[in-house]
């Protein structure tokens, strides 16, 4: 599976199997190769397959392989995401022109399916044809919906009330199924409020990657997954290592991590993420650490945080017993709506979306 983009900025995307490198399970890594103006860059995708199952001509996994459907789907998503970002780069000259050579510029994003039979996103652009003397940020030009605007009012950014750091640069090829004293999780090992799988690393890997203190891996904290179409968080209060696919959030004194995870996992914050940050594609979506830091948090007293904390404790207990926690999660949604002064009509918009 590959593609070419012809023109003055010709680029070539391709997938290859690094057969010369084999992991402990006997499989080799699938790399995403980008060739731009005779310069080549190989990016490890995190996907693997046995050498004999790689279809060199089709650049995909043979469907005789038990996980072929899932792996090939991921390959397609990565390719589509790369093409999406390349297409955005092509319009940078237009962006520069609009920012510098026009004034009172407003871009209103109307989303998908505006025109019948057309599934592409649509935007309306307004501007005056004269140079702009001011510095303008491209992201600030998009009209913010009223609910997001309300969330930003009288709140603090998550990055201002907590310490946030990405996890360790440990690849899946260094993890073990055999139990050791060094436990580790990746983004795919968590779901909302729950760790569903534990991996392990050996002493050599631990010594190689652990530098400095372990605060972000042992203190009471919230972990948020980098990839996914929605925000996924888990609460931890024990030593457990995490990889770069998870961001570790340690709130400032007086702010409970359980209160933070309640807000982050609420439908309101999901709505905010979808409206403000999520790309106009479901292909390999990510929430960046800079975006996590911009999530608005309503700071309240420790006493006021207690109802949120009690519900989170109940949800975590139910998840560990593999029981339904939807009733408690709904109560958190109601508390968060009240916290941000969301009206009944606004709740209907959020619940519908």
Q: Are 97 and 86 contained in the same domain?
A: no
Whether residue 318 contacts residue 330, with contact meaning beta carbons closer than 8 Å, is answered with no
Q: Are 270 and 334 contained in the same domain?
A: yes
d(CA 138, CA 105): 10
Q: Are 175 and 206 contained in the same domain?
A: yes
- Is 65 in a helix, a strand, or coil? coil
CATH number of the CATH domain containing 250:
3.90.220.10
d(CA 345, CA 281): 27
The values of phi and psi at residue 80, to 5°, are -65, -40
Q: Are 46 and 180 contained in the same domain?
A: no
Q: Are 233 and 263 contained in the same domain?
A: yes
Q: Are 342 and 205 contained in the same domain?
A: yes
Whether residue 198 contacts residue 188, with contact meaning beta carbons closer than 8 Å, is answered with no
Q: Are 170 and 100 contained in the same domain?
A: no
Q: Which residues of 242-274 are buried (b: 16+ CB within 10 A; e: fewer)?
A: bbebbbbbbbeeebbbbbbbbbbbbbbbbbbbe
What does each of the 353 residues of the chain score in pLDDT, given as a tens digit?
A: 555 554 445 788 889 999 888 888 889 999 999 887 778 888 888 899 999 999 887 788 887 788 887 888 888 888 877 877 776 666 667 777 777 778 777 767 666 567 776 656 677 787 788 887 777 666 555 556 789 889 998 999 999 999 998 888 888 888 998 999 999 999 999 999 999 999 999 999 998 888 667 889 999 999 999 988 789 999 999 999 999 899 999 999 999 999 999 999 999 999 999 888 765 544 456 888 888 999 999 999 999 999 999 999 999 999 999 999 999 999 999 999 999 999 999 999 999 86
Last residue of a domain, one of 143, 167, 183: 143
Question: pTM value?
Answer: 0.64
- Beta strand 60-61 with 103-111 is unpaired
CB burial class (10 A; 0-12, 13-18, 19+) of residue 185?
A: buried
- Beta strand 182-185 with 241-242 is parallel
Last residue of a domain, one of 122, 143, 164: 143
Q: Are 319 and 275 contained in the same domain?
A: yes
DSSP 282: -
Q: Are 84 and 178 contained in the same domain?
A: no
Q: Are 306 and 172 contained in the same domain?
A: yes
Q: Are 212 and 336 contained in the same domain?
A: yes
State the DSSP string of 83-139: HHHHHHHHTHHHHHHHHHH-EEEEEEEEES--STT--S-EEEEEEESS---S---GG
Q: CA gyration radius for the chain?
A: 23
Residue-number span of the structural domain to which 193 is assigned: 150-352
Count the domains in the chain: 3
From its phi and psi, is residue 160 left (phi > 0), alpha (psi between -120 and 50) or beta?
Answer: alpha
Q: Are 86 and 98 contained in the same domain?
A: no
d(CA 170, CA 241): 10
């Amino acid at each position: 599976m590959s593609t070419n983009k012809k023109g003055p900025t010709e680029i070539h995307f391709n997938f290859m199997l690094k057969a010369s490198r084999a992991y402990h399970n006997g499989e080799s890594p699938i790399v995403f190769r980008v060739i731009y103006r005779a310069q080549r860059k190989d990016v490890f995708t995190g996907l693997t397959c046995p050498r004999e199952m790689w279809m060199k001509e089709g650049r995909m996994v043979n469907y005789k392989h038990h996980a072929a459907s899932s792996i090939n789907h991921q390959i397609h998503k990565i390719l589509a995401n790369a093409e999406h970002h390349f297409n955005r780069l092509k319009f940078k000259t237009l962006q520069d022109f609009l920012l510098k050579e026009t004034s009172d510029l407003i871009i209103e994003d109307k989303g998908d399916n505006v025109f019948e039979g057309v599934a592409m996103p649509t935007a309306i652009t307004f501007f005056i044809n004269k140079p702009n003397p001011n510095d303008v940020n491209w992201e600030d030009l998009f009209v913010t919906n009223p609910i997001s605007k309300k969330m930003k009012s009288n709140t603090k950014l998550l990055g201002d009330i907590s310490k946030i750091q990405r996890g360790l640069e440990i690849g899946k090829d260094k993890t073990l199924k055999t139990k050791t004293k060094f436990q580790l999780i990746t983004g795919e090992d968590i779901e909302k409020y729950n760790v569903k799988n534990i991996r392990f690393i050996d002493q050599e890997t631990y010594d190689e990657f652990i530098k400095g203190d372990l605060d972000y891996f042992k203190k009471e904290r919230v972990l948020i997954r980098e990839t996914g179409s929605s925000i996924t968080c888990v609460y931890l209060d024990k030593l457990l290592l995490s990889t770069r696919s998870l961001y570790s959030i340690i709130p400032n004194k007086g702010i409970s991590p359980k209160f933070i995870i309640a807000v982050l996992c609420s439908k309101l914050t999901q709505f905010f993420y979808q409206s403000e940050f999520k790309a106009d594609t479901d292909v390999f979506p990510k929430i960046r650490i800079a975006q996590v830091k911009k999530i608005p948090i309503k700071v309240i007293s420790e006493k006021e945080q207690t109802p949120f904390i009690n519900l989170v404790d109940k949800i975590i207990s139910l998840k560990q017993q593999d029981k339904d926690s939807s009733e408690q999660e709904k109560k958190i949604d109601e508390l968060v709506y009240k916290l941000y002064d969301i009206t009944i009509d606004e709740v209907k918009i959020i619940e519908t979306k």
